Amino acid sequence: MDFYYSPGSAPCRSVLMTAKALGVEFDKKIVVNTRAGDQFKPEYLKINPQHTIPTLNDNGFALWESRAIMVYLVEKHGQDDKLFPKDTQKQALINQRLYFDMGTLYKSFADYYYPQIFLKQAPNAESYKKIESAFEIFNALLEGQTYAAGDYSLADIALLATVSTFDVAGFNYKRYSNVAKWYEQVKEVTPGWVINWTGCLEFRKYFDN
């Protein structure tokens, strides 16, 4: 399996952490420099015409969207189903949290920070309110819970990649006590945390600049 990624990208880091948790080694890890336009090269577009990262090429089978890749890795290489249980309701809850991450929490990060980082725009107060709203929802979801969807799962890995990105951006997630407690717990139990944090520090250069 070949994995196309950027070390600083939260979605890419979520796949790397999943692979680490499963003991999966990629045959090749190819860094895609999106600032240089690597994603638009013909050889990459042939694999992923949507020109996004991350992308997995498993012996000719191409898959992108990080959460889809995470599920694929578990279902193909997992020794058990702990990270993505076969139980219908447990799986549905994990899927809901994954979609919450993609469509609400991580989206709020992208909508607020990316225009500042890549387009040099001024901060948008309305977009910042959406971050606060997303964290309020996540905090409520965690009430009385150790993990995001019952037992530790892919949902925690994806959300960890996102919240750690907010962390290096300087967002005060500690205002949300359940999130702060969850974050410390999940950092401890996720095998690929060091890989993730190394990527976070790579991403922080955009804020340092």
57 bridge partner residues? 2, 62
Catalytically annotated residue among 6, 9, 66, 108: 9
Comparing CA positions, the residue from 153, 157, 168, 154 lying closest to residue 206 is 168
Does residue 9 carry a catalytic annotation? yes
Active-site residues: which are they?
Answer: 9
